[in-house]
Amino acid sequence: FNAMPGLHHREPGPIAAAADRRDVTCEIIADGVHIAPSMVRLAFSLFPERMILISDSLRACGLGDGTFELGGQLFTVHGNRATIENGSLAGSVSSVMACLRTAVTKMGIPLADAVRAATMTPAKALGVEDERGSIAPGKIADAVVLDGDLQVKHVVLRGKLLF
């Protein structure tokens, strides 16, 4: 949905083409910077079990506001938005967890749908759903435990509590 041609009745573009294909998964950056909330909701309704939450987080993620360099070019971070000198979007500094939180709390995506888009659907797309992406006997025991505000409370890696 980012930097793609829009929907048009004679030139439907990649979004309509993907809607016609049950074997296509769709990635979306729900950081509140790249794509309007109404388009995120549309994407989740068009592809209810085929959405994958991603980020395009720059290496300044977690460093706060400021000016940073990447590949010889300076970019400025304000909030989660990163821009280059002329004001054009360079990306964001939102993690996938932040995108999940934004999708649910600011865009109206149901929690179960957002969690599936960050866990089960990517695992299936990568062909690792037998070992990752959900909690079940025999699967690798990686998990993130969230509180009621969708903040990370605990992280479990291979069955061991990290914090």
Active site residues: 56
Token match 């999708």: residue?
103
Residues pairing with 88 in the sheet: none
Give me the phi and psi of 98, to 5 degrees please.
-65, -35
Residue type, 102: T
Residue 87 CA to residue 110 CA, distance in Å, equals 33
Cα 127 to Cα 78: distance, rounded to the nearest angstrom? 37
State the pairing for strand pair 51-53/26-28: parallel
